Structure 1
Amino acid sequence: MGMFISFFVLTITGLPIKFEQSRLSQGVVSLFGGFDNLFYVHLLGGVLMIFASVYHLIYLVVVPLGGKKKSWAIVPTFKDFKDLIQNLGYFFGFKKEPARFDRYSYKEKFDYWAVFWGMVIMAGSGLMMWYPQFFTLFLPRWVIDSSRYAHTDEAILAISAIFIWHFYNVHFNNRYFPMSKAWYVGTLTREEMEEDHPIELERIEREPNVLSKDKTKE
């Protein structure tokens, strides 16, 4: 939820900063009562996003240390590459069947791991612009100067990926419209499992000790 909220806050406040000459941007700035207020909200959004990311990283370390078994299913494998080729062949009519996915598809893995790449660039460059005097103690001036371009260009890439790639897969797809409920329900129906994660469904049904209620519901 923290990542969800911070992303939209940063998008709404960040685009007017990058395109400050736009009339629409000037209107958004006015809604915030001036540039200073908008910029302050943008910084708060950045802090929230960094906090959410750090919390997630700590969670990834603490869970295995607490004795709970950690799944590595989100890690990309060679099967993801084969699934991509299979799906491309299916989309273009060269294959008769689409790829069959396990717990996570290559699309879901891309969504997940792209955040790590984006956070390194966004948080790193954002902090450089926020505290340039500190970072010039360790980095040359050209790196600090380049941080603005890295920050804004990565932001446009992230916004484009979310509103084109991600929104289609979980919102505009006619199977999920207006949205996939998995993000807050935490479960998938059997029909959704059969369509999107048939390999995991087969494993759940084959192994009676697997708690199917964690992933499926009748």
Structure 2
Amino acid sequence: MADINAGFPQNKTVYQRWNIHHRLVHFGIYAPFILCGLTGLPIKFHHKAWAQSVAAFFGGGDGLLFWHLFAGVLIFITCFYHLGYSAIWAMKNRGNVTITILPWAKGTWTALKQYFAYQFGKSDEHPKFGRYQWKEMFDYWAVFWGMFMIGGSGLLMWFPEFTFQFFPKWFVDAYRWAHSDEAVLAVTFIFTWHFYNVHFQPDFFPMSWVWWNGNMSEELMELEHGLELEMIKEKQAPAGRGTTTTPTKGFPSSG
């Protein structure tokens, strides 16, 4: 079993941000997503030499298609698992649930104003975000957009006999174009915006450990989620040295 304090100095207070379910969902999204990219891009750029080399590695065109569909199914399964887990969690915690991943969650817009004022040198006050920053909210909801645009179009292309019974050819062609270009956009987004924000920015470099053990140090909590840290300390006694503290209850998301 992985050390829950891996990546942190000894005798430091850490806070659990992701439980095992959140980490499984993250893995169930990012691993198949990478496989989708590895098998989908060679199909889009099939005329390139590198694409033909990748296709050969996967066993040719049929192999590319098989692994591409396999990865897509895994992403769908993960999303349904996440929605089901979240629904069950919310029902079990009725009356004590705050949906903190929504853009209008308490304190989000105030912190967003503080963020841009701080970034443009208009304020010396560091923004205090709650459970999720605006960038994390964007990442989270972008997955649902991707499921609609990329996943939905993928299903239509996978079952053409069914598709053409209900949709005209121009619609299917447009959706096929959306599938391809949205996928390129998603890959570019993940390996630039997302990787920088959670791994390569100076505060996290060489990476954030949340995806691995679910934990964040108190110093990073204060910097990244200052409002949530204040709420935790108001509701709980200060954590002792070398302990792990569970944050206040919020809607369980993977982002």
Query: TM-score with structure 2 length normalisation?
Result: 0.78
Q: Distance in 2 between matches of 1:81 and 1:118?
A: 25
d(CA) in 1 for partners of 2:227, 2:72: 38
Question: 1:17 offset after TM fit, Å?
Answer: 0.8
Residue 172 of structure 1, aligned match among 192, 200, 221? 200
Q: Of 179, 192, 204, which aligns to 2:220?
A: 192
**How far 1:85 sits from its partner (Å)?**
3.6
For residue 70 of structure 1, what is the aligned residue in structure 2? Answer: 97
Where in structure 2 are the equivalents of 1:149-164 lying within 5 Å? 149-164=177-192
Larger relative contact order (CA 8 Å, sep ≥ 6): 2
Out of 18, 25, 31, which is 1:5 matched to? 31
**Structure 2: unaligned runs, 5 residues or longer:** 1-26, 249-255
SS in 1 for 2:191: helix
Q: Equivalent residues in 2 for 1:79-158 (5 A)?
A: 79-158=107-186
Counterpart in 2 of 1:58? 84
Q: Mark the CA change 1:209 to 1:128 in structure 2 (over 3 Å): closer, same or farther.
A: farther
Q: What's the counterpart of residue 18 of structure 1?
A: 44
5+ unaligned residues in a row in structure 1: which ranges? none
Spell out the pairing of 1:31-50 with structure 2 (5 A cutoff). Answer: 31-50=57-76
Letter of the aligned partner of 1:214 in structure 2?
Answer: T
Match of 2:252 in 1: none
The aligned amino acid for 2:170 is W
Q: Offset of 1:36 from its aligned partner?
A: 1.1
- In structure 1, give the amino acid aligned to 2:185: L
210 and 151 in structure 1: CA distance in 2 versus 1, 3 angstrom threshold: farther
CA distance in 1, matches of 2:247, 2:217: 8
1:143-190 Cα distance to aligned partner (Å, 9 max, x none): 112221010111112112111110001111122122111122122211
Supply the RMSD in Å over aligned alpha carbons. 2.2
The percent of aligned pairs where both chains have the same amino acid is: 43
Q: Is the CA contact (8 Å cut-off) linking 2:203 and 2:220 kept in structure 1?
A: no
After superposition, the C-alpha distances for 1:100-137 in whole angstroms (9 at most, x for unaligned) are 11111111111111111111111110001110110222
Q: Letter of the aligned partner of 2:104 in structure 1?
A: T
Aligned mates of 2:116, 2:65 — CA distance in 1: 43
Distance between the aligned counterparts of 2:39 and 2:229, measured in 1?
A: 42
Residue 42 of structure 1 aligns with an amino acid whose one-letter code is H
Quote how far apart the aligned CAs of 1:209 are. Answer: 7.7
Q: Distance in 2 between matches of 1:29 and 1:71?
A: 46
Q: Secondary structure of 2:173's match? A: helix
Distance 1:81 1:158, change over 3 A: farther
Task: Report the CA distance shift for 1:65/1:24 in structure 2 as closer, same or farther (over 3 A).
Answer: same
1:16 Cα shift?
A: 0.7
Distance 1:210 1:191 in 2: 14
**How far apart, in 2, do the equivalents of 1:67 and 1:194 lie?**
27
Contact 1:171 1:178 in 2 (8 A): yes
Partner of 1:203: 231
Q: Which moved more, 1:184-193 or 1:104-113?
A: 184-193
